Amino acid sequence: MINKNYNSATTGLLLVDPYNDFLSPEGKLYPYAKEVAESVNLLSHLQEIVAAVRHSGIQVFFVPHHRWVPGDYANWKHPSPNQLASGRRQSFAKNTWGGEFHADFLPQSGDIIIKEHWGSSGFANTDLDYQLKMHGIDKIIIIGLLANTCIESTARYGTELGYHVTIVKDATAAFSKEAMHAAHEINGPTFAHSILTTQELISDI
C-alpha cells in the first residue's frame, strides 16, 4: 500500500473565497486577476483539487470573505486599504450574484462553511481554528484567492497556530505576476511546510 502524506482523517482543504466576483469572467474582481489566473489554469486546478479531495474523503472547509452590505466600514476607526477598496467596489455584495459561490464550487452535504472573515486571514475573528480542532484536523491545504492576501495571511496564521500548512501555488492567483511571485517564491517558503503544484498534491492524497 502506498503511504500518502495527506491522511483523510487529519487533513482539511480550505477553499478560500470561491465567489463569482473572483472566478467568473463577469465578476467585479476577475479582470484584475485574469492574466495570472489564466496563466496558471486556476479554475481547472481548483476543480481538480476539489474533486480529488472529495474522492479521498478529505474534509472541505469553505473560508469565505465578508460579503459587503451598505454601511460597511463607514464608521470604523481603522479600516484597511483593502477594506476601503472593497467598499468602493462593493465586492462580494450580499444577496447579489457576485457574492454567491461559483457554480463549480457549491457546498455539498458534509462541507463546513466557516464564518466570514473581515480582513485577510480566514482564522482571525472566525470559527476556523475551532472547527478544524473539533474535526481532528492538523494538516491544512489552502487554495483560492488571493495568493498574496487571504491565502498568505491564512497560511501564516495557520502555521502560528501549529498546523501543517500546504499551499498549492497554481490553485491560487493574484492581481499581478509580481504579487504571485512574492507570495510563493519569497514569502511562502518562510512559513509554509509545503508549496506544491496541483498535480504534486493530487498524487499525494
* Across 66-90, average pLDDT: 92
- Beta strand residue intervals within 83-155, DSSP E: 112-113, 139-145
pLDDT 10s digits, 1-18: 355 789 999 999 999 999
The pLDDT of residue 4:
75
**Overall pTM > 0.85:** yes
Mean pLDDT, residues 41-56: 98
Work out the pLDDT band at 74, boundaries 50, 70, 90: confident
Residue 133 lies in a domain: yes
The tally of domains found in the chain comes to 1
Q: pLDDT tens, 146-165?
A: 999 999 999 999 999 999 99
Residue 59 lies in a domain: yes
- Determine the pLDDT at residue 3: 58
Contact 173, 40 (CB under 8 A): yes
Task: Look at residues 75, 63, 76, 88 and name the one whose alpha carbon lies nearest to residue 149.
Answer: 63
Q: What are phi and psi of 161, to 5 degrees?
A: -85, -5
Name the packing angle between helices 42-56 and 30-39 (round to 10°). Answer: 70
170, 199 Cβ separation under 8 angstroms: no
Q: In CATH, what number is assigned to the domain containing residue 80?
A: 3.40.50.850
